[in-house]
C-alpha cells in the first residue's frame, strides 16, 4: 500500500470513529470496555493520546528533527511514570468531553496498571 492510500484509510477511519463516538450517550461513554477496567471514554482518550504521539513523531521526522520530543526524559521511577501517564490520560479524557460536547463524569483516572509502584 502506498503512503497516500494509507493516509486516506487513516482519515476515513478517523472520520468513521468520530461519527460513531458522537452518537454515544453519557452512559455509553462510561460503560466498561472489553478489558473491564477502562471505560469507553478512557479507551478513546488513550487512542487519541497515542495517535497524537504518533503523528507528532511523523511530523518531526519528516522535518528532519531526530531529537527526542520535549519532555521525553525518562522519569526517575515507575510510580512517577505511571502518575505522568495517568495525568496525560485524564487530560485527554477531559478534552474528549469538550470535543464531543458529551458530559463525561470528571473522576480520578482509574486503571490498575497505573496504580502499581
The predicted-structure confidence for 60-114, as pLDDT tens digits, reads as follows 889 999 887 776 777 778 888 778 777 877 787 777 777 665 444 444 444 444 3
Residue with the larger pLDDT of the pair 25 and 68: 25
Structural domain boundaries enclosing 89: 3-115
pLDDT of 107: 42
Is the pLDDT at 24 greater than 80? The verdict is yes
pLDDT of 10: 81
What is the residue-wise DSSP string for the chain? --HHHHHHHHHHHHHHHHHHHTT--HHHHHSB-TTSSSBHHHHHHHHHHHHHHHHHHHHHHHTT--SPPTT-SPPSSHHHHHHHHHHHHHHHHHHHHHHHT----------HHHH--
Domain count, the chain: 1
- What predicted TM-score, i.e. pTM, was given to this entire model? 0.59
Pull the grid cell for residue 94.
477531559
Amino acid at each position: 500500500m502506498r503512503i497516500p492510500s494509507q493516509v486516506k484509510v487513516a482519515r476515513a477511519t478517523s472520520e468513521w470513529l468520530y461519527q460513531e463516538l458522537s452518537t454515544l450517550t453519557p452512559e455509553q461513554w462510561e460503560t466498561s470496555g472489553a478489558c473491564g477496567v477502562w471505560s469507553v471514554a478512557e479507551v478513546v482518550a488513550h487512542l487519541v493520546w497515542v495517535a497524537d504521539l504518533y503523528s507528532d513523531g511523523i511530523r518531526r521526522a519528516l522535518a528532519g528533527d531526530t531529537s527526542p520530543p520535549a519532555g521525553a526524559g525518562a522519569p526517575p521511577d515507575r510510580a512517577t511514570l505511571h502518575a505522568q501517564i495517568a495525568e496525560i490520560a485524564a487530560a485527554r479524557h477531559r478534552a474528549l468531553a469538550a470535543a464531543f460536547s458529551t458530559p463525561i463524569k470528571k473522576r480520578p483516572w482509574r486503571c490498575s496498571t497505573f496504580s502499581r509502584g
